[in-house]
Amino acid sequence: MDIEAAWNNMIRYEGEEFFTKTGKSFCYSINGNILNPTHTGRNIPKSNFEAALARFPLSKTTQLKDLQGSAYIYGVLTDKRIV
């Protein structure tokens, strides 16, 4: 899946519940090309999601450890609603 298709799905499911690999629940909002997980203060750029998609398939969050917000990126991109 390309980043535009994934990002459009992410916009569609904005505000819904997602889970990190460890089971932590979160929602997110999207402002332009930035994803903001609730209660974190993080700003995760669309480019980080694009970089993560290039590494698919993913089996663990450590495959994304160099990207800011890796647990949230993993939680979003491994959800069947998004990819």
Determine, yes or no, domain membership for 82: no
Q: pLDDT of 34-74, one tens digit each?
A: 999 998 888 999 999 999 999 999 889 999 999 999 999 99
1, pLDDT greater than 90: no
Determine, yes or no, domain membership for 21: yes
Please give the residue range of the domain that contains residue 52.
3-77
Cα dihedral 41, 45, 50, 51 sign = negative
pTM higher than 0.85: yes
Reported as half-sphere exposure (CB side, CA atoms, 13 A), residue 11 has a value of: 11
Write the CA distances from 81 to 32, 40, 42, integer angstroms.
20, 22, 22
Report the share of the chain in percent with pLDDT over 70: 100
30, pLDDT greater than 90: yes
Determine, yes or no, domain membership for 32: yes
Contact at 8 Å (CB) between 48 and 7?
A: no
User: In this predicted structure, what is the pLDDT of residue 39?
Assistant: 86
Determine, yes or no, domain membership for 83: no
Determine, yes or no, domain membership for 52: yes
